[in-house]
Amino acid sequence: MTATGRRRPSAPSPAPPATFRRRRSLTVAALVAVLVALSGCTGDRPRSTAPVQGAAAQSTAPGPDPYFPEFGNVGYDVTSYDLAVTYDPASKELSGTVTITALATEPLREFSLDLIGLTVDEVTVDGAPAAVGRSGDKLVVTPVDELARGASFTTVVTYGGTPEPLNSPTLGSDGFHPTADGGFAIGEPRSASTWFPVNDHPRDKATYRFAITVPEGLVAVSNGVPEGRETDDGWTTWRWAEPVPMASYLAMVAMGEYRLHESEYRGLPMVVAVHEDLPTTVDAQLARSGEIADVLAGWFGPYPFRAYGGVALSDQRISYALEAQSRPIYGPAFFAGGQDASWVIAHELAHQWFGNSVSVREWDDIWLNEGFATYAEWLWSEYVGDDTAQELFDLYWTGPAASARFWAVPTGDPGRDNLFSHAVYERGAMVVHALRLTVGDEVFFRILRTWTAAKRDGNASTEEFIAHCEQVSGRLLGGFFEDWLYGTQRPPYPG
């Protein structure tokens, strides 16, 4: 079986999304655009109050996510996912088996998993058939015997169906997207549960193995280290492993007609996949991923993963990029017209430290990801000889940040509909620079490097970041962060 005809690039690509405006050419027009974008923002901080579904939800700590209480499950801690899926682009059907190894953190009579839209054929727990029920986007699994607190148990779910994207007006298009030649899965704050059963919250990080089977001739790329591929009877199985704990939203797959470049960078595998509908200049841009990660390592500490790379999609539905672990995915607009995409590569690679290695505890910690990744764009701009971080801070200060509206949404608690808003990205980067001006360069970069080292492979909250800054700097910074993260007015000029 071969894929259907290759699509041609069509109309000119849309401009990159507002959050990814190119800083190196930040002009008055761009600042006006920020203000225009801001007028769409409200100061609302809506919080969902939907109860967590599923029987395991009665547990005490950790509680439901303040923004997305319906995401994730409690009562267990996943150690690893071993996922085997077959995808047929002709029928758009996926069939899969996931083997989930987990530890019970309390005695479990039953437990739940997240799965959106697909159908379960069979579940076993420790080899014995288990009862399975469905409650909305939760699978509720009842093993034959209660699982004891501290027990390690293995759940195998066989499932399938036609996976589909999730569309949200504020968050964009996330999850599994079928394409003419294959399909891909990408998304934040949620994506994984559209293509496999998972504990879909970043607080439960785990290692992953992927075996992705597609029609012979198509490429299937996922996170981490390539572990070979084999072809049998017209189907090719591509194997990938992510040996470093990963948050579920960072799990990625891209299947279809891609140009694949496999090399090494600093002794680690480097894999770049570019959709065949994109020009080869994109391959050259993504080939810089290792070099750019190296520059970031000079500021943030050692690169935290076992592989490098990137994937460029041609699908216009994806207007953003996502920092998939060790192998970010980029929408096509970032490369439109042959423009330099190094700033967005620097942003996504900065997330490998800020977001991926050190992950949010809850989604209201999102500025710890986006504020720092946006600040990395500023550092990158300065590094390549464009505007310095200080110049960019001042451009915002005297531009969009001179308007009261800029401060209406607090960076430290933006609300679920503002997860990817200027309050988190640009105001978040301003918080980072304000911290730098307050504590000085030497302490600032020590804070960054000790933070990524102390929280490596784990989760961290804004409160923990504040405590860390106070500890490293030896200063009380509660008032500073109160103004900069939670205030709704412009604070005094820092420093």
Residues contributing to the site for Zn ion (CB under 5 A) = 370, 373
Q: Which is nearer to ligand ARG, 125 or 324 (CB)?
A: 324
Q: Pick the binder of ligand ARG from 110, 137, 204, 323 (CB under 6 A).
A: 323
199/77 Cα distance (integer angstroms): 9
Q: Which is nearer to ligand ARG, 158 or 316 (CB)?
A: 316
Q: Which is nearer to ligand ARG, 110 or 188 (CB)?
A: 188
Residues 331-350 binding ligand ARG (CB under 6 A) are: 347-348
Query: Which residue from 70, 133, 78 is spatially nearest to 102, judged by alpha carbons?
Result: 78
Give the sign of the dihedral formed by CA 227, CA 183, CA 361, CA 374.
positive
Minimal CB distance residue for ligand ARG: 172
Q: Pick the binder of ligand ARG from 37, 103, 151, 171 (CB under 6 A).
A: 171
Minimal CB distance residue for Zn ion: 373
Q: Pick the binder of ligand ARG from 110, 174, 181, 377 (CB under 6 A).
A: 174
Shortest spacing between CB 396 and ligand ARG, in angstroms? 18
Stretch that binds ligand ARG, among 43-51, 60-68, 226-234, 321-329 (CB under 6 A): 321-329
Give the sign of the dihedral formed by CA 28, CA 30, CA 35, CA 36.
positive
Q: CA-CA-CA-CA torsion for 21, 22, 28, 30, nearest 10 degrees?
A: -20
Shortest spacing between CB 418 and ligand ARG, in angstroms? 12
Q: Which is nearer to ligand ARG, 74 or 321 (CB)?
A: 321
Shortest spacing between CB 492 and ligand ARG, in angstroms? 29
Shortest spacing between CB 134 and ligand ARG, in angstroms? 26
Shortest spacing between CB 247 and ligand ARG, in angstroms? 11
One-letter amino acid of 296: L
Q: Which is nearer to Zn ion, 373 or 477 (CB)?
A: 373
Q: Are the C-beta atoms of residues 80 and 246 closer than 8 Å to each other?
A: no
Q: Which is nearer to ligand ARG, 172 or 414 (CB)?
A: 172
Query: Which residue from 415, 418, 411 is spatially nearest to 489, judged by alpha carbons?
Result: 411
Q: Pick the binder of ligand ARG from 3, 108, 293, 322 (CB under 6 A).
A: 322
Could you say which of Zn ion, ligand ARG, none residue 420 binds, taking C-beta under 5 to 8 angstroms by partner kind? Answer: ligand ARG
Shortest spacing between CB 136 and Zn ion, in angstroms? 29
Stretch that binds ligand ARG, among 91-99, 235-243, 265-273, 318-326 (CB under 6 A): 318-326
Q: Which is nearer to ligand ARG, 120 or 313 (CB)?
A: 313
Sequence-distant (≥ 6) Cβ neighbours of residue 125 within 8 angstroms: 141, 143, 144, 147, 153, 154, 155
The residues with which 172 forms a beta bridge, in sequence order, are: 168
116/191 Cα distance (integer angstroms): 9
272/258 Cα distance (integer angstroms): 9
Peptide bond between residue 51 and the one before it cis (omega within 30 degrees of 0): no
One-letter amino acid of 60: T
365/458 Cα distance (integer angstroms): 14
387/365 Cα distance (integer angstroms): 28
Shortest spacing between CB 373 and Zn ion, in angstroms? 4
Residues 348-407 binding ligand ARG (CB under 6 A) are: 348, 370
Contact between 130 and ligand ARG by CB under 6 A: the answer reads no
Sequence-distant (≥ 6) Cβ neighbours of residue 144 within 8 angstroms: 125, 128, 129, 130
Could you say which of ligand ARG, Zn ion, none residue 365 binds, taking C-beta under 5 to 8 angstroms by partner kind? Answer: none
> What's the DSSP call for residue 108?
B
Query: Which residue from 383, 369, 343 is spatially nearest to 452, judged by alpha carbons?
Result: 369
Phi, psi of 237 (to 5 degrees): -105, 120
Strands 268-275 vs 308-312: parallel, antiparallel or unpaired = parallel
Stretch that binds ligand ARG, among 41-49, 171-179, 277-285, 437-445 (CB under 6 A): 171-179
9/320 Cα distance (integer angstroms): 18
Residues in contact with ligand ARG, shown as a per-residue x/- string from 73 to 92 under the rule CB under 6 A: --------------------
Stretch that binds ligand ARG, among 194-202, 282-290, 304-312, 316-324 (CB under 6 A): 316-324
Q: ∠ CA 205-182-308 to the nearest 5 degrees?
A: 45
Q: Which residues contact ligand ARG by CB under 6 A?
A: 171-172, 174, 187-188, 320-323, 347-348, 370, 420
